[in-house]
Amino acid sequence: MDEATAVREWVEARAEEMAGLLAELVRMDTENPPGRGLGICAARLREVMEELGFAPEIIPLAPHDRLEEPCVVRGQVGEGSEVVYFHGHFDVVPAQSRSQFAAERRDGRMYGRGTADMKGGIVSMLYGAAAARELGLLGGGRIVFHLVCDEETGSDAGSGHLQGAGLIDTSARAMLTAEPTAGAVWHASRGALTMQVGFAGTEAHVGQAHLGVNAFAHMVAVAAPLHDLARELLEKRTSFPMGDDAVKGSMLVVGGASGSGVNFNAVPGSAWFSIDRRFNPEEDLDEEIARLTDVIDTAAASAGADVSIEILQRQPSGSTEEDHPTGRALAAAVAEVEGVAPAFELCPGILETRWYAQLGVPAFGYGAGRLDVSHGPGEYIDEAAMRRCAAVYALFAARAFR
Ligand SMILES: [Zn+2]
């Protein structure tokens, strides 16, 4: 029997066990924000990894925002010195309805918050790693698990801690994360830059408007050139492949959130808006900060506005060569299980791969879930696809160590 068939059979024999674990994880509400129930979910994951013989530990993290018991669950499979990381996150975005925590099974699918993004992916990784070990495929290699708790709100507590504390081995062969790519391989991701732009004016009664300084008017004056810039940036298209050509432009959203501090019958004494910039791998974080700051400062100076800029999020983009040997190993593993080679694409959002790629570790996203249902009210994962994905992970680990 060839390796792919052996792995498939090993995983298929555990179909009910995998579905049961996924249902259990989905029923644990780990909505983030605010970051509920993270300690409870981590404890269960630790227990499962213990049962699978993955020598797990929980690394508690310092309090962060409203996260409940933030931590990283770490474990390893195999004895070898060469490392491949299996990376996942167990927080989920807020549900549209409480019924999404019921983990409903129908038509070969499991429905519920986090099934695709990415508790289903974690189940695939756990069973894929176990299959690789049980079938003796790891050779001189070792799979290290990093399961983090705060991917949905910026990853400072989870992956940021792993990187900051030196817990990522920079000589690792590869990192793989189970984001919902629907069978494509994400080998690159955009960077993110979020700013809050504030305006200070002077509040005055509407009947004495001449005494006020209208912060909202200043905001409009500064927002206008940013809006022009957003149109310009959309023309800067990435050369990385993406599923939909229309999303290849470099993104800038002006005023995703905005406000002013007063009632309608007063001159607003303060106002603010957000700008969210998602830049392509060809673009540089520091250059983008300088570009936006320059447009804002120039417009503010000509409007006579008192402006302040706060950077809320700054994440560089990241990419790994498509033809890197570990990328080819992943493509070969996918082809063995699915019968066709996967497409390599740029992830339209930001991706945890960046924390590893920044350190020179080849990093990829690959998962069975679908991006278009993730974060939505009808989120689901196809159970058979989740099992095939587990087989891909097992074969990838085997191939990456050869
Ligand atoms: Zn995710």
State pLDDT tens for residues 131-166. 999 999 999 899 999 999 999 887 888 899 999 999
CA torsion 300-305-311-315 (nearest 10°) is -20
- Report CA(140)–ligand 1 centroid distance (Å): 30
Q: Does the structure show a pLDDT above 80 at 202?
A: yes
- Report CA(49)–ligand 1 centroid distance (Å): 20
CB 85 within 8 A of CB 168: yes
- Report CA(35)–ligand 1 centroid distance (Å): 14
CB 126 within 8 A of CB 49: yes
- Residue 341 pLDDT grade (very low, low, confident, very high; cuts 50, 70, 90): very high
- Report CA(120)–ligand 1 centroid distance (Å): 11
Distances 42 to 45, 46, 119, 357 between C-alpha atoms, Å: 5, 6, 12, 25
| For range 386-400, the mean pLDDT | 97
- Report CA(378)–ligand 1 centroid distance (Å): 16
Q: For residue 138, list its beta bridge partners.
A: none
Structural domains for the chain: 3-189+317-400 (3.40.630.10), 191-315 (3.30.70.360)
- Report CA(117)–ligand 1 centroid distance (Å): 5
- Residue 17 pLDDT grade (very low, low, confident, very high; cuts 50, 70, 90): very high
Which amino acid, 298? T
The Cα 8–Cα 5 span in angstroms is 5
pLDDT at 65: 87
- Report CA(89)–ligand 1 centroid distance (Å): 7
The Cα 122–Cα 56 span in angstroms is 14
Residue 260: partners with Cβ closer than 8 Å, 6 or more residues away: 215, 216, 219, 268, 270, 271, 272
CB 11 within 8 A of CB 131: yes
- Report CA(181)–ligand 1 centroid distance (Å): 10
The Cα 188–Cα 321 span in angstroms is 8
The pTM (predicted TM-score) of the whole model is 0.88
- Report CA(151)–ligand 1 centroid distance (Å): 7
- Report CA(138)–ligand 1 centroid distance (Å): 27
Runs of H (alpha helix) within 238-382: 285-303, 325-338, 353-357
- Report CA(180)–ligand 1 centroid distance (Å): 7
Tens digit of pLDDT for each residue in 70-112?
Answer: 999 999 999 999 999 999 999 999 999 999 999 999 999 999 9
CB 296 within 8 A of CB 288: no
Q: Which of 40-44, 57-61, 356-360 comes out lowest in average pLDDT?
A: 356-360
- Report CA(179)–ligand 1 centroid distance (Å): 5
Tens digit of pLDDT for each residue in 23-38?
Answer: 999 999 999 999 999 9
- Report CA(229)–ligand 1 centroid distance (Å): 30
